[in-house]
């Protein structure tokens, strides 16, 4: 707490708290923790000016200062926080302002202490390899612009001897380059477009996203029937009669960009429309010297015209993949979220494509086990509220996802949900040996069905299409670089928990690791049953760290 509460109240709290300006701060003080080398650790400092509005300058005193980043937690509107039949594991369900956006402090011109409103700073520590093990005090100092001390908070971070291992989980958050082009008003494939795309790729990779949705054709995702999204097709197509030729120069540039930013995997965009695989995606080609659309909503997915196109395109695509050494790094999509009555059309599409793609694996989000059982999908990406049959059948290489529909019992990250519900997902991924995770919204800044662009600073629910926060986890910065959400930061913490558990398993075995992880839980952890308290999640990670440190000391 502040030493001079009449001037500024402060409190060090964990990253799993959300600070609302219109309620009293009930979060318990959080003043020490441990972390592994190569980890990115975060905590918050809440502050309130009791009497008058005042400008506040913030400094950090620590041997780790060069590794520390300060950001202000800003409020964003959530007009549609959740569906009316939600469970009780959320913070609020009323429309209003919620903490989510993280703005670098340099851009905020210091901070403002607002009378009777709690706000918070987000403190991030990047523990690079050169940081030696030991205990490091981090002092966050609050002063007036003239240098008078208002308050200080001290947090002690113990850096352990062991290092966080590399991430094994394959993780993709659908990356919408058309949203970038529209928001920043740049031409697709202009040099500025490529610069902006790359800056967002860097942020994605920095947060554990190691697979990128690759728009070989404009992705047929969340598009109104008969509508279309801006063209971002990477493969050039020329048509002469019934013969097609293809250019892969832009796709090669995309691959090179991903390689230099440490993207490990590529998911090729869907070859058929969403929710049924009944039509082709929008495909643009040059024919008789004119650029035109040759396939789209009017195209029968089972018709000879599109099947002939795929029969010519896919073998050349495979050659490109092989020549660029990508055979072990590529997955492809047929159609997103097929339901029970889509089996015939999805099955036809899957079988036709498979004969050309060969050993390259398919992947799609789904909920029905029989699609996998019939061999139509090699890599099932299963909703976390429909995953039980897949676990019971001990499906290998199992992925999971969540989106707007997964809001009862299971983990998710809507803006209205507590951060512990976001972070506990890492423990579930570990326990059930999940190979990959997909989310549909890294930066979907359109209204539902891509009907028009929205301002993500004013609209966080795709124009009432999805609960606030579901469509995106980054905000557009003015300079063409993204601003993070606290939800993205917490999800990275979940991925780090997963990596720490994998390290501990390599030391003491899986059975002991799971037992240690679940210590203090009322029931064994499942996707729907787990401790909901932030204190338990934080204590769990400290137990994991302590066991890792003990093993390192003994050995």
Reported as a single tens digit per residue, the pLDDT across 361-408 is 999 999 999 999 999 999 999 999 999 999 999 999 999 999 999 999
What pLDDT was estimated at residue 1? 47
Q: Which residue has the tokens 């049959």?
A: 389
268 HSE (CA, 13 A, CB side): 26
How many other C-beta atoms are found inside a 10 Å radius of the C-beta of residue 257?
Answer: 16
Strands 40-48 and 9-14: antiparallel
Question: H-helix or E-strand containing 239?
Answer: strand 236-240
Does the pLDDT at position 266 exceed 90? yes
> Rounded mean pLDDT of 15-29?
97
For 18-54, b/e burial (b = at least 16 CB within 10 A) is bbbeeeebebeebeebbbbbbbbbbbbbbbbbeeeeb
- Hey, is 469 helix, strand or coil? coil
Residue 389 class from Cβ within 10 Å (0-12 exposed, 13-18 middle, 19+ buried)? middle
Report residue 6's pLDDT band, with 50, 70 and 90 as the boundaries.
low
What pLDDT was estimated at residue 95? 98
For 431-453, b/e burial (b = at least 16 CB within 10 A) is bbebbbbbbbbbbbbbbbebeeb
Q: Give which of 417, 413, 465 is closest to 442, Cα–Cα.
A: 413
195 vs 256, 396, 478, CA distance in Å?
A: 13, 38, 14
Strands 96-104 and 265-268: unpaired
Q: Give which of 232, 142, 130 is closest to 179, Cα–Cα.
A: 232
Report residue 110's pLDDT band, with 50, 70 and 90 as the boundaries.
confident
What pLDDT was estimated at residue 107? 56
Q: What is the pLDDT of residues 459-507, one digit of tens each?
A: 999 999 999 999 999 999 999 999 999 999 999 999 999 999 999 999 9
Helix axes 486-508, 534-554, angle to 10 degrees: 40
Q: What is the pLDDT of residues 242-252, one digit of tens each?
A: 999 999 999 99
Q: What is the pLDDT of residues 224-261, one digit of tens each?
A: 999 999 999 999 999 999 999 999 999 999 999 999 99
- For the entire predicted model, the pTM comes to 0.96
Does the pLDDT at position 275 exceed 70? yes
What pLDDT was estimated at residue 108? 54
- Hey, is 212 helix, strand or coil? strand
Q: Could you give the strand order of the β-sheet that contains 134-143, starting from the edge strand earlier in sequence?
A: 32-37, 149-163, 134-143, 54-61, 111-113
Report residue 5's pLDDT band, with 50, 70 and 90 as the boundaries.
very low
Cβ atoms of 181 and 232 closer than 8 Å: yes
Cβ atoms of 98 and 482 closer than 8 Å: no
Does the pLDDT at position 12 exceed 70? yes
Does the pLDDT at position 209 exceed 60? yes
Rg (CA), the chain: 24
Q: What is the pLDDT of residues 296-345, one digit of tens each?
A: 999 999 999 999 999 999 999 999 999 999 999 999 999 999 988 999 99
Does the pLDDT at position 129 exceed 90? no
């Amino acid at each position: 707490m502040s030493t001079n509460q009449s001037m500024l109240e402060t409190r060090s709290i964990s990253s799993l708290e959300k600070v609302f300006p219109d309620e009293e701060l009930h979060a318990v003080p959080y003043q020490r923790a441990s972390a592994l080398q190569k980890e990115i650790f975060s905590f918050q400092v809440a502050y309130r000016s009791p009497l008058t509005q005042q400008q506040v300058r913030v400094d950090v005193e620590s041997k780790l200062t060069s590794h520390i980043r300060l950001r202000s937690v800003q409020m964003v509107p959530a007009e549609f926080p959740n569906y009316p039949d939600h469970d009780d594991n959320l913070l609020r369900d009323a429309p209003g302002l919620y903490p989510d956006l993280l703005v670098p402090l340099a851009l905020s011109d210091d901070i403002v202490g607002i009378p009777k409103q709690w706000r918070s700073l987000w403190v991030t520590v990047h523990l690079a390899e050169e940081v030696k093990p030991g205990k490091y005090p981090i002092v966050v100092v609050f002063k007036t612009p003239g240098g008078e001390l208002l308050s200080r908070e001290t947090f002690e971070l113990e850096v352990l001897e062991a290092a966080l291992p590399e991430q094994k989980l394959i993780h993709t958050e659908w990356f919408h380059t058309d949203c970038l082009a529209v928001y920043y008003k740049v031409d697709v494939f202009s040099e500025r477009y490529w610069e902006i795309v790359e800056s967002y790729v860097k942020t994605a990779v920095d947060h554990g996203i190691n697979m990128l949705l690759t728009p070989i054709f404009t992705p047929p995702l969340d598009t109104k029937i008969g509508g279309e999204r801006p063209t971002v097709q990477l493969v050039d197509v020329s048509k002469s009669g019934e013969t097609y030729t293809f250019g892969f120069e832009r796709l090669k540039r995309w691959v090179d960009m991903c390689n230099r930013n440490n993207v490990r995997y590529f998911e090729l965009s869907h070859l058929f429309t969403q929710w049924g695989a009944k039509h082709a995606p929008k495909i643009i080609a040059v024919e008789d010297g004119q650029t035109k659309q040759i396939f789209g909503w009017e195209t029968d997915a089972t018709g000879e015209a599109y099947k002939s196109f795929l029969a010519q395109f896919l073998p050349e695509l495979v050659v490109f993949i092989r020549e660029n050494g990508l055979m072990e790094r590529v997955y492809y999509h047929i159609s997103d979220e097929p339901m029970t009555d889509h089996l015939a059309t999805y099955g036809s599409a899957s079988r036709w494509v498979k004969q050309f793609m060969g050993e390259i694996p398919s992947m799609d989000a789904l909920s029905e086990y029989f699609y996998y059982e019939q061999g139509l999908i090699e890599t099932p990406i299963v909703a976390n509220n429909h995953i039980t049959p897949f676990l019971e059948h001990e499906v290998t290489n199992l992925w999971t996802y969540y989106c707007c529909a997964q809001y009862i019992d299971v983990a998710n990250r809507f803006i209205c949900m507590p951060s512990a519900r976001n972070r506990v997902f890492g423990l579930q991924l570990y326990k059930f040996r999940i190979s990959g995770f997909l989310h549909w919204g890294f930066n979907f800044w359109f209204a539902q069905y891509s009907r028009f662009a929205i301002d993500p600073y004013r609209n966080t629910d795709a124009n009432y299409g999805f609960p606030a926060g579901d469509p995106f986890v980054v905000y557009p910065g003015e300079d063409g670089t993204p601003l993070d959400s606290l939800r993205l930061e917490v999800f990275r913490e979940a991925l780090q928990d997963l990596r720490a558990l994998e390290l501990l398993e390599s030391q003491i075995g899986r059975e002991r690791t799971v037992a240690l992880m679940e210590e203090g839980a009322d029931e064994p952890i499942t996707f729907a049953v787990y401790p909901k308290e932030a204190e338990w999640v934080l204590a769990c990670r400290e137990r994991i760290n302590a066991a890792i440190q003990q093993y390192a000391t003994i050995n």
